[in-house]
A and B are shown apart, each in its own frame.
Chain A
Amino acid sequence: MRTETLAMILAGGQGTRLGKLTKEIAKPAVPFGGKYRIIDFALSNCVNSGIKNVGVVTQYQPRELNSHVGNGAAWGLNIHNGGATILQPYSSVEGEKWFKGTAHAIYQNIDFIDRHNPEYVLILSGDHIYKMDYQEMLAFHKMKKAALTVGVIPVPIEEAPRFGIMNTDQTGRIIEFEEKPKEPKSNLASMGVYIFDWAMLKKYLIDNQAKERTMEDFGQHVIPAYLRNNENVFAYAFRDYWKDVGTIESLWEANMEFLDPTHALNIRNSDWRIYSQNPSAPPQFLTAASNVTNAMIVDGCYVAGEVAHSILSHNVKIGKGSVVKDSFIMADVTIGENVTIEYAIVGEHARIHDGAQIIGKEKEIAVVGYSEEIGGLKDEEA
């Protein structure tokens, strides 16, 4: 059975702007919204769009990501004629197959893609929060007889200099691409979502590799090359919620937006679910001493303190007299008694001892790293 569309999720990003949170795990594996990891959105979008062959390209700190994606069973991808495949760089007789960039990562995996012999390759980034039906974009791609369709999202023009900006003509055809322009001519930012005709992309990658060996990145090299050669390159505008959670502030902000029950992402809509691993954990226990308002909480949590405008992930314990406000607490965090946490992101497995204070500000979010310990012994020594 031939695969019409194969998805390749580029999940190797280092995500240095997330500081401590990406020191040990790849950005797409960073937890989000209480029970998700960022890559769940791209993976779920694939499944919901009927694309059941997905390659997940990993490179940087892949352990957490690999164990999260596994065989893809959580997304219904453990099926005949489909599935999730982790694609990691490796040493081969021709040398090490490390990925120098997004396009180079695809080049290194040509064998994998060819085995599925797809007509189209959908290339996604593993680090954005959004719900999107890729079939609609594919229909657009076919209708336009495009060689490449780039998913774009209109952003406020003042923010456009942060993005790769597509300038189009009246038909939606991309005539110019500018990476982080100082004076943008349009507000159509690339979402990092591409549909390529595989045969043509493969030819570009192989020809280039045989000569200049310069084609490392889609934004910097491949799209400009397509434009130079006058290929049919179109922009497909997406108008729903889309968020790049590349910084601590944007990760915090996206979590706080997620808390809003009227949020555009509409996580409770069962017509377009976001799937994830679901560990078995006891029911959440809000004790007689607790006070929980405007919060999202998942299984395994135990709350004896106050939680306001915050998200608690799996197995978070909060002792008596503690207050958690405007914060995102990741899984397996233990918070002692009389702790105050405000405007913070607390990493998985962190331990916050009795009486500790973690207080950030709206534009300066406090971060506790994975497995970090705050308070406790240090205080006793002082």
Chain B
Amino acid sequence: MKKHKVCAILNLNEDGSRLAPLTDTRPITSLPFGCRYRLIDFPFTSLHSAEIESAAFFLTGNGRSLHDHIRSGASWGLDSSIGGGLFPHTEIDIKEAVETHQPNQLSSFYHDQIHYVVRSKADYVVVMGSKMLCNIDIQPLLHYHQEKGSDVTIMYKNVPKETCTASAAESHFSFDAEGTDRITGINLVSHTPEEVGRVALSMGIAIMRSEKFIELTTEAGKQNLKGDTLLLVKNQLEHNKVYGYEYTGYLKDIDDIQSYFDANMDMLNEDNYNALFNRGDAIITKVKNGAPTFYSKEAEVKNAQFASDCFIEGKVENSLIFRKVKVAKGAVIDHSVVMQGSEIGEGSHLEYVILDKGVKVGAGVSLKGTPEDVLVIKKNAVIEAEKGA
């Protein structure tokens, strides 16, 4: 691929409010997932696989955990000194607050995006977020876009209607006729006829020529729309050829605690695990040094995944265990997600629990959620058994 043919814009200012407390101090994009990844690893890996070496990302709120994870972007080949690079655009909420005093200007959010695209000298722009967990291949998307002579091509997946989350309500497509892929409407799930069982859910991933991006972005800027890829084209469907490109791999909209938990549990299903992790190149993440994971003579492990550097002496079933987790003798973990550096004391019992990073669970503690109401323990919490209980 010619250098700089495609550049990328990552809209990482996604609404994480329904993922609290996991998103208290981190954006959705740096949510830990699948024992050793962050959600940002998936779009970044897709960029790397497509040899895209330049990307700008837009972030609101506390970006420390994201910056710590991605650093120079070198892991994903985003630090090329020849035209490439990772361009962070943060504090867009602060800029926004300043702008309210200066009306009638193109907001700095859109100004920054246009500025980046112009400077990148790319022919095409791919726009994506990170809360739609998937492993996409950008090259076929681009080829399809070119073949169709499309103005904008958006990726979607056909999903059962009932799986659409609340925030996905205004994000599924209608096409001009059955079996064709020109998008003529972007709809609310609640507006689909009752007999319709499946909907074409937008994945918030779009590709277009740089000039088209600048044109649509300028327009969106004038209307003060913000953030979502779909907003760029929502009111422009009549004047532009907008096509849908179907994705058939693993997809989960990480929108609330339940969908986050379910996505993790999905990985214990081999089909899902292979669809996400063993499709093409390995998912790239920031690698860390650490010893291999140790399972003692007493360890009992079934249907579970682990990162490296764990020390397992207890029983672990149907669970995902991140790096540097210690599970003491006699502890039982079932249907749980245990993040990096947590320690589970002797004889403790965890069921349907998400432990954020660095949680210390003392000996003999019982923590139980249910499949529909998963218990979330905040980062670095220390939980001891109640005396006399």
Contact = CB atoms under 8 A, between A and B. Distances in A.
A34 B292 contact: yes
Contact of A296 (B277, B284, B293): B293
B35 interface: yes
A222 interface: no
Interface stretch (B50-58, B126-134, B173-181, B296-304): B296-304
A294 B297 contact: yes
B273 interface: yes
A267 interface: yes
A139 interface: no
Interface residues of A, number: 33
A291 to B, nearest CB: 8
B19 interface: no
Contacts of B292: 33-35, 296-298, 311
Contacts of B288: 278
A288 B301 CA distance: 8
A69 B311 CA distance: 28
Contacts of B225: none
A286 B311 contact: no
Contacts of B296: 261, 293-294
Given A261-B311, A294-B297, A299-B307, A286 B291 contact: no
Which range holds the interface residue count of chain B? 35 or more
Interface string B259-275: 00000000100100100
A286 B302 contact: yes
Given A278-B287, A280-B287, A282-B277, A298 B303 contact: no
A34 B295 CA distance: 13
Contacts of B307: 283-284, 299
Query: A35, A261, A267, A292: which has the most chain B beta carbons within 10 Å?
Result: A292
A290 B305 CA distance: 12
Interface in B28-58: 34-36
A136 to B, nearest CB: 23
B294 A296 contact: yes
Interface in B272-325: 273, 277-278, 282-285, 287-289, 291-299, 301-309, 311, 320
B297 A285 contact: no
Contacts of A290: 301-302
A288 to B, nearest CB: 4
A49 interface: no
A292 B277 contact: no
A268 to B, nearest CB: 5
Given A278-B287, A282-B283, A292 B305 contact: no
A261 B328 CA distance: 14
A33 B292 CA distance: 8
Interface of A: 33-35, 259, 261, 267-268, 273-276, 278-288, 290, 292-300, 311
24 contacts: A34-B292, A35-B291, A261-B294, A278-B289, A280-B282, A282-B277, A282-B278, A282-B283, A283-B35, A283-B267, A283-B305, A283-B320, A285-B273, A294-B296, A294-B299, A295-B294, A295-B295, A296-B293, A296-B294, A296-B295, A297-B293, A297-B306, A299-B36, A299-B308
Interface of B: 34-36, 75, 267, 270, 273, 277-278, 282-285, 287-289, 291-299, 301-309, 311, 320
Given A286-B305, A297-B306, 19 more contacts: A35-B291, A35-B292, A261-B296, A274-B289, A278-B289, A279-B282, A282-B277, A283-B307, A284-B307, A286-B302, A286-B303, A290-B302, A292-B295, A294-B297, A296-B291, A296-B292, A296-B295, A297-B295, A299-B308
